[in-house]
Amino acid sequence: MANLPDKDQLLKIAEHLKPFIHRTPVFTSSSLNKLAGCRLYFKCESFQKTGSFKLRGAMNAILNLRNDAVEKGVVTHSSGNFAAALAYAASRIGAKAAIVMPENVIPSKRDAVLSYGANIIYSGNNPLDREKKCEQVISETGSSFIHPSNDINVILGHSSCAIELISDSETLDAVIAPVGGGGLISGIALGFKHFSPRTQIIGGEPLNADDAYQSLKAGKIIPQIDPKTIADGLRTSLGDVTFPIIKDHLSEIIRVSEDDIINAMKLIWERLKIVAEPSGAVAFAALLNNSSVFNNKKIGIIISGGNIDTSALSF
């Protein structure tokens, strides 16, 4: 952990990102405060460009490429929000991006990537296939691999989300963010560590994809294989960059059921009138599951994204 940047470096990263990202709004709701018994600050990354927080990390990774690397382009594997984010981030500096996606990708996610001018390379539908495909692209083109979460530049980009939230809310007793690969919460943890050290960092994780909870308990990374949860952004596992940060900085991980996630998502839609995707509702679900602990406290909730497949809606 000796190499983690200091306060000034985090501020510099956030400043550097500004022209490329939205400063997303912080929403409050008296009806949800009443329901939860505490004062909530929702950081709405659903309104981030490309529809999720992922752009912060993707953009920072892209801005950190050396000139010769920019020419050769970037590659990642993702069927979700990081795919669109990296495609968009690369387009902003005119770099080529290759995105390895499974053949059964949701058409709207595929179209988003294509609309940013990235190249899609279809792999099979399992993780081994896509990793092999990535290696093949790298060996053929010399492009740089950017991992969706387990990459220090990606994590540092996400810390800009914490810096904005700290500046746009009261001093928080706790902040809750969803945990998938752990990139978001690692960035949030580093931001709060420097700029609001008394705020507890809490993870929200689907019970059906609780590798971070299990890993923390075991003291080592326990990856999950093909977990089933509606929170499709949280099916990935921690890595060797995110695990140590999470181990050092999180107070706890709160696990939530599928019903908890759906209930929290519907409340966000109904009361805040904004669209959160299932993964984006997991932090709020974690709060609701333990609201007595947070009674009368000031809590930040990261709504991580708002990309939904409307064809799945019953209209």
Residues 198-237 touching a copy of itself, rule: CB under 8 A, are 230
Q: Which is nearer to a copy of itself, 70 or 274 (CB)?
A: 274
117: contact with a copy of itself by CB under 8 A = no
User: Which residue in 42, 47, 53, 88 binds a copy of itself (CB under 8 A)?
Assistant: 47
Among 113, 79, 117, CA closest to 95: 117
Q: Which is nearer to a copy of itself, 56 or 130 (CB)?
A: 56
Binding mask 266-295 for a copy of itself (x = CB under 8 A): x--xx--xxx--x-----------------
Quick one: which H or E segment has residue 204?
A: strand 200-206
Residues paired with 250 in a beta bridge? 201
User: Which residue in 262, 290, 291, 298 binds a copy of itself (CB under 8 A)?
Assistant: 262
171: contact with a copy of itself by CB under 8 A = no
Which part of the chain contacts a copy of itself (CB under 8 A), choosing from 148-156, 178-186, 244-252, 258-266?
258-266
120: contact with a copy of itself by CB under 8 A = no
314: contact with a copy of itself by CB under 8 A = yes
Say if residues 90 and 74 touch (Cβ distance below 8 Å): yes
Q: Cα(294)–Cα(174) distance, rounded to whole angstroms?
A: 9
Q: Cα(30)–Cα(38) distance, rounded to whole angstroms?
A: 10
Q: Cα(42)–Cα(178) distance, rounded to whole angstroms?
A: 13
Q: Cα(280)–Cα(149) distance, rounded to whole angstroms?
A: 16
37: contact with a copy of itself by CB under 8 A = no
Q: Which is nearer to a copy of itself, 145 or 269 (CB)?
A: 269
Q: Which is nearer to a copy of itself, 17 or 268 (CB)?
A: 268
Q: Which is nearer to a copy of itself, 3 or 310 (CB)?
A: 310
172: contact with a copy of itself by CB under 8 A = no
Shortest separation between residue 306's beta carbon and a copy of itself, angstroms: 4
User: Which residue in 84, 86, 301, 308 binds a copy of itself (CB under 8 A)?
Assistant: 308
Say if residues 37 and 80 touch (Cβ distance below 8 Å): no
Q: Cα(80)–Cα(280) distance, rounded to whole angstroms?
A: 13
Contacts of 204 (CB under 8 A, 6+ apart): 176, 177, 178, 179, 253, 254, 256, 282, 283, 284, 285, 286, 287
The first and second tokens of residue 259, run together, are 């019903």
Q: Amino acid letter at 314? A: S
Q: Amino acid letter at 247? A: K
114: contact with a copy of itself by CB under 8 A = no
Which part of the chain contacts a copy of itself (CB under 8 A), choosing from 87-95, 148-156, 206-214, 263-271?
263-271
Quick one: which H or E segment has residue 201?
A: strand 200-206
CA 295 to chain centre: 27
If binding means CB under 8 A, how many residues of this protein chain bind a copy of itself?
23
Q: Cα(76)–Cα(83) distance, rounded to whole angstroms?
A: 7
Q: Which is nearer to a copy of itself, 138 or 262 (CB)?
A: 262
Q: Which is nearer to a copy of itself, 13 or 288 (CB)?
A: 288
Residues paired with 42 in a beta bridge? 27, 301
Q: Which is nearer to a copy of itself, 9 or 108 (CB)?
A: 108
Residues at the interface with a copy of itself (CB under 8 A): 31, 46-47, 51, 108, 115, 230, 262, 265-266, 269-270, 273-275, 278, 306, 308, 310, 312-315
